[in-house]
Amino acid sequence: MADDHGRFEDQLGGLIRQSKGRNDGLWEGTMTEYMALVHANPKITQLAPARIYEMIMSRGTEAVEEAEKLPHYEDMVRYKFFSGEIFGIEEVLHDLVQFFRAGAHRTETGKRILILVGPVSSGKSTIASLLRRGLEQQETPLYAIRDCPLHEEPLHLVPRSKRPEFERLLGVRIEGDLCPVCKYRLTEEERYKDHAGNYKWEDMPVVELRLSERSRVGIGTFQPSDPKNQDISELIGHVDLGKITQYGEGHPLGYRFDGELQVANRGLIEYIEILKTDIKFHYVLITVAQEQLIKAPGFPQSYIDTVILSHTNETEFQKFKANKENEALHDRMYPVFVPYNLRLRDEVAIYRKLIERSEFHQKVHIAPFALEAAALFAVMSRLKPSSGGMEELKKAHYYNGEVVREKEKDPVNAKKLMLEGREKGEGLSGASPRFVMNALNISLGDAHGGCVNPVDIIRSLKHQFEHHIGFSDEDQVRFPQLLLGEKNSVLAEYRERARKEVNRAFLYAYEDQAQALFDNYMKHATAFCLRRKLVDPVTREEQEPDEKLMRSIEEMIGIPEGAKSEFRQGLFVFKSDALERGDSFDFKNYPPLQEAIEKKLIADLKNIVSLTLADRSRRDPKTAERKQEAVAKLLDRGYCPLCAEALLEFVGEMLRKEE
């Protein structure tokens, strides 16, 4: 015990000593020493857009599957910088990185104001916060003139007339001029003058800089308050009246350079709801973006190197675009649209991420399909009807990359569908992840017994509609329909799923039975296609392919008598192709047939399931045993005993109503 305490005191003493270490071990030196650092590693002088671009690229990229690329996005990749945090909006990130690349190369495009346009909680703030955090953790160091209120680049000290030589020697480009304060110190303080009266700019002290949002270094945030009495000083600093009396009008020490733009020098300013501010703010921003200068009447001009990342919602943006008075501003802005995610699996990933970070993590059991049900509703609410008349449910599955069986001859072109959706503004409205998370949180919080199942979530979403302001009249009718409608709704889909889950649980050795049925069907269908006869294994007699067997399966998926031959031929070709490629061929390879086989098995089983689920007294030992086996199967598939029971109850109720 005494020993332990001794060790604790040592450690505490060590920590306290460390906490007093000057400057956190950051580099300090003179301008001369700094130039040696620049020569060794010119990257330390890169400007803010290049720094951000490098920060994203240095984490690496991953290829995106061809099938997921829309036209004009052929070179799209997935940026690891955003992965695990942003889901399903690869195009947006592609547009964004293109902009930073343009900025890094100092092109005109890169000198516009970046404006993220999208609905609430579509990921605009998450993008901004990832960039802010990234800058704080950036590995390439950067440096500043010590005590400069703008923590400016030390190379500004190099006199204009001498820059070409220094640029050549150091291997970098020098942009920007000294801020009024540093200029004043260099020219007025005796220590920076030699006996001949020359400025010893090479002696000015330089420190390593660490960008930090909390310390207001290199990362600024601007949020408009009341637009009527918004003060521009929040953006560009202000005159310090006390100091002006001391130093006199126009004196560089008479200003406070603490506006968000000055804070954001060397890094990034996040400008929230940019279109809610007065137009005079926009002109200040444009000068910063275009000329890297803060110019304001009565205020000393200063050089600013920052990326302006602003955002706004769709409605404000359309209003701004329609207003002729703003025309001069339009082509100074670079809008990037940030819609909601439209891919089911990514939507589920968003919820998982948020739940993992909440207090519910590990306390609550989430039943299979519960999050999927919520995601399905969210995605459907963001979709628009397609010209082909495809309803939202099917579209959601297409966008998710699932193979959806189509009776039409033409296979659906998923890319065409997505492009059309984009034109119609899909993802720019609908239920936000926040709306859905509120519903999820309520279910998770209510989870008595520690479980949440799809029915709980559907109920909770419905409840949320009644407590949400901001949906249009149209959506107020449409959303409950998408959630609870008789057809093409989340509930309808869940009914179907639940039924399948239960049937599979009841099917003893489901896969084996399905494969056996499939093999049998294929044997007869192949013989049919080749116009051959089959040999009965017992009697050794030749016989025709069994029409009754084949039809009993085909009817399950609505293949009419007249189309049976075509269906079998298609299957035969598919099988031959698969075997030729060296692929295996089982009942899961061909979704239409898989569906038919499952339906057939299930139809044969329906009575058994109904009987078992109807026997609520559980007196019959046979049904009790069967049910126990089904529950055991469900446990293997991610259900807990309570959720398994709830699922059987749900399906039992459904079957009773059908009878």
Q: Least distance to Zn ion from the beta carbon of 183, Å?
A: 8
x-marked contacts with Zn ion along 384-403 as a string, rule CB under 5 A: --------------------
- Confirm or reject binding of residue 286 to Zn ion (CB under 5 A): no
Q: Least distance to Zn ion from the beta carbon of 505, Å?
A: 15
The window from 143-151, 544-552, 597-605, 618-626 that contacts Zn ion (CB under 5 A) reads 143-151
- Confirm or reject binding of residue 152 to Zn ion (CB under 5 A): yes
Question: 90-104 and 124-137 helices cross at what angle (nearest 10)?
Answer: 50
Q: Least distance to Zn ion from the beta carbon of 368, Å?
A: 9
The H or E element spanning position 334 is strand 333-337
- Cα–Cα distance for residue pair 415/51, rounded to 1 Å: 35
The window from 68-76, 299-307, 368-376, 636-644 that contacts Zn ion (CB under 5 A) reads 636-644
- In the list 148, 268, 376, 383, the residue contacting Zn ion (rule: CB under 5 A) is 148
Q: Least distance to Zn ion from the beta carbon of 2, Å?
A: 50
- In the list 451, 457, 461, 648, the residue contacting Zn ion (rule: CB under 5 A) is 451
Which C-beta is closer to Zn ion: that of 206 or that of 602?
206
* Angle in degrees, CA 343, 347, 349, rounded to 5: 120
- Cα–Cα distance for residue pair 188/471, rounded to 1 Å: 62
Which C-beta is closer to Zn ion: that of 451 or that of 602?
451
- The closest of 70, 59, 133 to 97, measured between CA atoms, is 59
Strands of 377-523 (E only): list them. Answer: 451-452
- Confirm or reject binding of residue 234 to Zn ion (CB under 5 A): no
- Confirm or reject binding of residue 217 to Zn ion (CB under 5 A): no
DSSP string, 567-591: HHHHHHHHHHHHHHHT----TTSSH
Strands of 201-306 (E only): list them. Answer: 205-209, 219-222, 238-239, 255-256, 268-271, 293-296, 299-303
The position carrying tokens 């598939």 is 637
The position carrying tokens 């601007």 is 222
* Count of residues in contact with Zn ion, rule CB under 5 A: 9
- Cα–Cα distance for residue pair 77/231, rounded to 1 Å: 42
Q: Least distance to Zn ion from the beta carbon of 110, Å?
A: 25
- Confirm or reject binding of residue 372 to Zn ion (CB under 5 A): no
- Confirm or reject binding of residue 179 to Zn ion (CB under 5 A): yes
- In the list 44, 50, 93, 182, the residue contacting Zn ion (rule: CB under 5 A) is 182
- Cα–Cα distance for residue pair 394/388, rounded to 1 Å: 12
Q: Least distance to Zn ion from the beta carbon of 640, Å?
A: 3
Which C-beta is closer to Zn ion: that of 253 or that of 640?
640
- Cα–Cα distance for residue pair 498/504, rounded to 1 Å: 10
- Confirm or reject binding of residue 144 to Zn ion (CB under 5 A): no
x-marked contacts with Zn ion along 318-357 as a string, rule CB under 5 A: ----------------------------------------
DSSP string, 219-241: EEEE----GGG--THHHH-EE-H
What order do you get walking across the sheet with 333-337 strand by strand? 219-222, 268-271, 307-312, 113-117, 333-337
- Confirm or reject binding of residue 640 to Zn ion (CB under 5 A): yes
- In the list 55, 643, 647, 655, the residue contacting Zn ion (rule: CB under 5 A) is 643
Structure tokens at 85: 């945090």
φ/ψ of residue 26, rounded to 5: -75, 150
φ/ψ of residue 267, rounded to 5: -140, -110
Q: Least distance to Zn ion from the beta carbon of 454, Å?
A: 11
Q: Least distance to Zn ion from the beta carbon of 146, Å?
A: 10
Q: What 3-state class would DSSP assign to 30?
A: strand
- Confirm or reject binding of residue 365 to Zn ion (CB under 5 A): yes
- Confirm or reject binding of residue 153 to Zn ion (CB under 5 A): no
The window from 132-140, 234-242, 276-284, 633-641 that contacts Zn ion (CB under 5 A) reads 633-641
Q: Least distance to Zn ion from the beta carbon of 451, Å?
A: 3
Under the rule (CB under 5 A), what is the footprint of Zn ion? 148, 152, 179, 182, 365, 451, 640, 642-643
